[in-house]
A and B are shown apart, each in its own frame.
Chain A
């Protein structure tokens, strides 16, 4: 079965610091990759996605992620975080299964940005 690992469960950064959140998955076939964000009190929102093409994907709010197929990784980055980036971040992988596309989530990383 597909599994998704997010190694950092809690991250605390100061404003303007750089961010990198790790994500690794186990499936060896064709996958679609996602980062979702959940701001306090809000629902899950798509931050960025990778389906094919350029492995460096740019998303909303200055976030980007790089797909490295050989490492089964899809790490999320932001060069300079803001207080408003405080949220929980989920990496997710979508594999094509027999009857549909199954989305598997990591356990999430809680990011706190301090002023």
Chain B
């Protein structure tokens, strides 16, 4: 069974630039999550999708972050404009039953 795929694996941008991350969940998993993991901290949920609908985006900084999951499969997370404090690893996870989550390798973002 293929795991959660993410791209790119690494990205370096300057502050005020925009960036987008892509996630392909495990086939058949209806629930998709985006997490932000800042160095030295645990992952923090940014947004949760159930199929193509948003379940929880309470911790998403909506002034600069946006996410979509068209057709209920792949998802993209965008940051525009980026700030220095956005430097982190962005993790995508998916779940079949809403309980156990499977994580992708993450995208390491460095904002300079």
Say yes or no: B48 contacts A100, CB within 8 Å.
yes
Q: Mark A1-40, 1 if CB is under 8 A from B, else 0.
A: 0001000000000000000000000000000101010000
**Min CB–CB distance A60 → chain B (angstroms):** 14
Q: B-facing mask of A97-115, CB < 8 A → 1, else 0? A: 1011111111110000000
Say yes or no: A43-B104 contact (C-beta < 8 A), given A100-B31, A105-B42, A106-B42.
yes
B33 lies within 8 A of A103 (CB): yes
Kindly identify which residue among B91, B98, B103, B105 contacts A100, using a CB–CB cutoff of 8 Å. Answer: B98
Give a binary string over B24-66; 1 marks a CB under 8 Å from any A CB, 0 the rest: 0000000101000000111111001010000110000000000
Partner of A105, one of B31, B40, B44, B50: B44
**B42 is contacted by which of A4, A46, A101 (Cβ under 8 Å)?**
A4
Query: Are B56 and A103 neighbours in the complex by a CB distance under 8 Å?
Result: no
Query: Would A107 and B40 count as touching, CB distance under 8 A?
Result: yes
For B, the interface residue count at a CB cutoff of 8 angstroms equals 22
Contacts A43-B104, A51-B99 given; does A90 touch B42 at CB 8 Å? yes
Q: Which residues of B contact A (CB under 8 A)?
A: 31, 33, 40-45, 48, 50, 55-56, 91, 98-106
The 6 closest A-B pairs by CB, nearest first: A105-B42, A44-B103, A100-B55, A99-B55, A43-B105, A101-B98
Cross-chain pairs A/B with CB under 8 angstroms, 27 sampled: A4-B42, A34-B100, A36-B103, A43-B104, A43-B106, A44-B43, A44-B91, A46-B100, A46-B102, A49-B100, A51-B99, A90-B42, A97-B56, A99-B48, A99-B55, A99-B56, A100-B48, A100-B50, A100-B98, A102-B56, A103-B33, A104-B45, A105-B43, A107-B40, A107-B41, A107-B42, A108-B42
